[in-house]
Amino acid sequence: MDLFKKCFDFTTVDEYKAMGIYPYFHALETKQDIEVIMEGKRKIMIGSNNYLGLTGDPRVVEAGIKAFNEFGSGVSGSRFLNGTLTTHIQLEAELAAFLHKESCLTFSTGFQANLGIISAIVGRNDIVFCDRENHASIYDGIRLSYGSMVRYHHSDMEDLERCLKNADPEKGKLIITDGVFSMSGDICKLPDIVRLGKQYGARIMVDDAHGFGVLGDFGRGTAEYYHLEDDVDIIMGTFSKSLASLGGYMVGKREVVEYVKHKSRPFIFCAAITPASAATALEALHILQSEPERPRALLAITRYVRDRLLAKGLKILDSSIAPIIPIYTYSVLRTLVACKLLFEKGVYVNPVLPPATPEGECLIRTSYTSTHTEKLMDEAVDLIAEVLNNLPESDESLMEMI
């Protein structure tokens, strides 16, 4: 059989493009902001992870320019060899201090952070207990390790305890959970996870990509939100969301971070984040520390939108305070048609389709920024309600619209 047969048989994209409902790879023509230009037209942006609104902040941009001038465009090597800058060291030290942990290590992307952490610390005699809705990078990190994976039902603490009870007590155990789940916006049940971890001798790792800069009195994330910072062994996060840059990190005990630093293949054999990426993340961290009102403004505008969507009679997942609000659209076709119509009317959102959701439970994922205004969100909600409340339920009727 030809290796490429699967490629030639993959026609879904061409079919969706022919129907005019392909939703991906719309190109930005302006910086990421609450309003952007895509394909020559204004769009209200409620489909990004720019939670603190810092991607275009003049202070962040200036920090990147300064780093370009001082260090050049890249480091041309791994952190292990020629790729460590003083900026990397400063960023790691300040992140560790901010998150109340002993040590920090940065990675080239958030995805690589999970690959690098998990594959380094999980060995042949270890078990990882993984929430079924964890990010794909966690699953891939477990696959890259030599350990065993046990999945528990999403945020089901009885199922997690059953899994822990059935595990070999002689094996090392790691519970990994998203802090804020990226599609649903659910916040993990960290108090229960900590209790079970202590009871069954398991270490705990939280992927706080969508919690950092969002939750907690000072934006330190899920562990701060629950007042459990001392009880989480490893916190992983990204720079591409609240910190307006690109990269990832882990914080934890010094010995654990040193072990990963010297054993993690995705860290050792990858070029370091660029000078500008490190400098912009560091400046964004400084702004978060000096302006703790940003996370509060983010949660306030999210509450405002959530209330407005419910008032319009829209079916949403309403189980969290996090700045991710999924709106039910049910079928794949209905989701794609809704996204197309919203895009045409000037609102950018994200479709969530199987396998990210079960069949028949497709969603439109909307996400918010601390600099969104109530006036702009009123405009977006009115357009969402106009589209979804007038959209046929059946695929047959939807096909007639296309």
pLDDT digits (tens, 9 = 90+) for 298-346: 999 999 999 999 999 999 988 789 999 999 999 999 999 999 999 999 9
Q: Which stretches in the chain have pLDDT values below 50?
A: none
The predicted pLDDT at position 358 comes to 86
278 and 336 assigned to the same domain = no
Where a domain ends, among 290, 325, 353? 290
Claim to verify: residue 335 and residue 285 sit in the same structural domain: no
Residue 13 lies in a domain: no
Residues 254 and 322 in one domain: no
Strands (E), 239-384: 248-252, 324-330, 347-348, 350-352, 362-367
What CATH number corresponds to the domain at position 345? 3.90.1150.10
Contact 213, 186 (CB under 8 A): no
Domain range for 97: 58-290
Q: How many domains, in total, are found in the chain?
A: 2
Asked if the structure places residue 146 within a domain, the reply is yes
The answer on 298 and 281 residing in a single domain is no
Q: Is residue 3 part of a domain?
A: no
Smallest CA-to-CA distance from 349 within 312, 318, 309 is with 309
Predicted local confidence at residue 215, as pLDDT: 98
Nearest to 244 by CA among 215, 216, 183, 285: 285
Q: Are residues 187 and 154 in the same domain?
A: yes
Let me know whether 264 and 319 are in one domain: no
Beta bridge partners of 348: 45
pLDDT in tens, 254-286: 999 999 999 999 999 999 999 999 999 999 999
Are residues 283 and 296 located together in one domain of the fold?
no
DSSP state of 10: -
Could you tell me if 161 and 278 lie in one domain? Answer: yes
Cβ contact 94:239 at 8 Å: no
Distance CA 138, CA 174 (A): 12
Please report whether residue 36 resides in a domain.
yes
Query: Does some domain include residue 145?
Result: yes
Find the CATH number of the domain harbouring 167: 3.40.640.10
Verify that 65 and 35 share a domain, yes or no.
Answer: no
User: What is the distance between the alpha carbons of residues 30 and 302, in angstroms, rounded to a whole number?
Assistant: 24
Q: Which of 245, 266, 290 is the C-terminal boundary of a domain?
A: 290
CA 222: distance to chain centroid? Answer: 13
Does the pTM of the predicted model rise above 0.85? yes
Claim to verify: residue 164 and residue 268 sit in the same structural domain: yes
Q: Which of 290, 320, 338 is the last residue of a domain?
A: 290
Q: 197 and 255: one domain?
A: yes
**Based on the domain organization, do 338 and 191 belong to the same domain?**
no
